[in-house]
Amino acid sequence: MGPRMKLEISTPQRPTDDTSHDRLSVLRDAHRTLIGLADGAGSGAGAQAAAALAVNELARCFRNGMLPDDPRDWAMVLEGIDHIVLNDPAAGETNALVMLVQQGVVVGASVGDSLAYIVPVVGDAQLLTARHRKEPRIGTGTASPIGFGPVQLDGRLITRRAARVDSREVPSVIEAA
């Protein structure tokens, strides 16, 4: 195994009324980090419940050791979460992004408009979720997650919602060193 990767997570520090339905879960063990991000669609209790349920299910995958290294398998995990959220009477819809970082490589899947980039120390940013589709989201029973990776993580891993792209704003950043 190569040198241990340092991950530092930072999020925007400005207050907003639009974060009550956003959920972020970062789980680590000695060899890997799982990042789950969910952005509930809308601003009601159903959006909050859907986002919370999605990241809780990703955390359950981590605790159970179900951490695939193939992007198609991560897409299937999100499809399963889609049906769990659909069957919860309190849950609405959510976007979701899952990323597994291990041995300097990132792999994952997304559904909806949560984006992920790798910004190298030198060179142009690479959009990992380039093939994302805004809909259908998790909670519809018809979500179509798209996997990405494996990609060498040689800089910063940045996540943000597509609706919030603003060059003046600091996105969520996971610093790899």
Query: Taking residues 88-111, what's their average pLDDT?
Result: 93
Task: Say what the pLDDT of residue 133 is.
Answer: 67
In this prediction, residue 167 carries a pLDDT of: 34
Q: Is 33 helix (H, G, I), strand (E, B) or coil?
A: strand
Sign of CA dihedral 174, 48, 114, 36: positive
User: Which CATH code is given to the segment(s) 7-13+20-176?
Assistant: 3.60.40.10
Q: Strands of 155-161's sheet, edge to edge?
A: 7-10, 172-176, 155-161, 114-120, 126-127
**pLDDT tens digits along 11-38:** 544 444 545 678 888 898 888 999 998 9
DSSP-assigned beta bridge partners for residue 138 = 94
Task: Among 46-55, 56-65, 86-95, 157-166, name the one with the lowest average pLDDT.
Answer: 157-166
pLDDT given at position 15: 45
